[in-house]
Amino acid sequence: MLSGSDIGAIATIGIPIIASSALIIAGFYSNLERRAIVLLNLIFGIAELGAIAFLSYLSISGLYSSALNGVIVLDGFSIIPLLIGAFVLQIILASLSLEGEVHKAAIFAVAGFSTVLGSFLLATTSSISLFIASWLLLSISSYTAVAAAKTKSSSDAALKYALMGVLSTVFIVMWLGTGAYLAGDNIYSANWFGSGKLFLLSAALLLAGVGFKLGIFPFHWWMPDVYSQAEGRAIALITGVAKIGAILGFVRMIYYTFYIGPSAQFIDMVAIVSVLTMTFGNIAALTTRVLPRILAYSSIAQIGYILVGVVGILYGASSGNAQLIYLASGGIAIQTLGYSLAKSGSFLFTGELGSSVPDESIKGAYRADALSSLSFSIFLLSLLGLPPLVGFWGKLYLFESAVPYSLALVVIAIINSGISSYYYGRLISMLFSQTGTGKGKFELRVSYVILSIVLVALGLGLLQLIFPYLSIKVL
């Protein structure tokens, strides 16, 4: 007999599949009114939110659980950020209702539901083979979203993104080929096999494979070009939904694979990559004046901060400190959901201005549209880590978790946050400048206001209520 968690998991998996099929069929019938596509999006989106919310309730009320004979791991670490990601998808799909292009809306919705499905499976699965399949699903749906606009710029971006994805998948397959999974398909029973050098090679290949997707230094080279060429909604989908699955899936895989005792060399490797990623991202953002590229480099820096939490998890595993794992994984979950809300809102905002626009294009925007400008400011301040927004709590827990490993790493991360205050502050000052006229009213101002309210509400207390349930299932 199916349990409640099994039913919730089946619904969460089945709804995107059914939704995608229905929307593909609807998209082929051009005589359908735009309202039909919008209605289908609304129905399936609400159903999907309900299913993930139910799984979130199970993971919180029962602390931890599983579904489908342990193939799906239900904990707040993955489910609650995924609930935010599904909510972000609804905001993005709602913005499509303002357009009359039925085929584009259907294609983008299919890509969006597939992205949620891929993120869900990637972040929760304990099956190594399902991890690989989910990775491919997430990648292909992301490419589809980038190419949905069917412009020369979006096509170029999709091609670059797809080529990056091929490299990423190659490294993932090479990681699997090291023989680290001789114990079987289940991630819990996996154990690295062989010498310390084989262990480091396996871990490095996983880090490289995921690094291409997340924009970890030195695998970041594609991100500024793609983010500045693609449509704003497509990048909002990638940063607001796809990145959740990639981040949480990577953290779960790296911890459950190597929880027996990661070597000091591997922890040092992650720490060094973290420093290089956040430092490069922030310095690069300082030296460009193209708005989407600033946000792209900022995304690279944000991944560097999340890697600080990965160091905390691995150090907690190596020292047998379960509380440190709780703290670090909770910080990663908070930073990830804050990243999802702030980055998706930011790219929706800049997407209305166009691709590769200069940062001066937002000069004086407050005088033309105060609500949109205030919302964009909140997104930037959360990414900066200003209290009491979500980004502040994420960085606080991430940096605190790394203190037992190295105070120097934490100091470098704090210095990088200080560097980022310059370009975030510059953008905010442009928004409220008395010169410039901005673009006028933003069409998606309601979306920005909703996302900014969620960021503020979570930061003002809701996160503290759910923080005890945000940690990864500790082994």
Burial class (CB within 10 angstroms; exposed 0-12, middle 13-18, buried 19+) of 131: buried
**Mind listing the pLDDT tens digit for each residue in 212-239?**
888 888 887 888 888 888 888 888 888 8
In whole numbers, what is the pLDDT of the chain averaged over residues? 83
Which pLDDT does position 303 carry in this prediction? 93
User: Would you state the structure tokens that stand for residue 238, as one six-digit string?
Assistant: 């990638």
| Section 93-118 average pLDDT | 77
* Tokens of residue 71, six digits: 């193939």
Q: Is the dihedral of CA 5, 9, 12, 15 positive or negative?
A: negative
Percent of the chain scored above 90 by pLDDT?
Answer: 22
pLDDT of residue 73: 84
- 146 and 355 in contact (C-beta within 8 Å)? no
Each residue's pLDDT tens digit, 271-292: 999 999 999 999 999 988 888 8
- Among the residue ranges 104-108, 179-183, 252-256, 343-347, the one predicted with the least confidence is 179-183
Domain regions of the chain by residue span: 4-469
Closest CA to 475 of 59, 3, 73: 73
Query: Would you state the torsion angle of the CA atoms of residues 411, 413, 415, 417, taken in this order, to the nearest 10 degrees?
Result: -140
Tell me 216's DSSP state.
-
Question: pTM score, two decimals?
Answer: 0.91
Nearest alpha carbon to residue 90 among 19, 4, 139? 19
Provide CB contacts within 8 A for 327, sequence distance 6+.
Answer: 312, 316, 397, 400, 401, 471
Judge residue 167's burial from the number of C-beta atoms within 10 Å of its C-beta, 0-12 exposed, 13-18 middle, 19 or more buried: middle
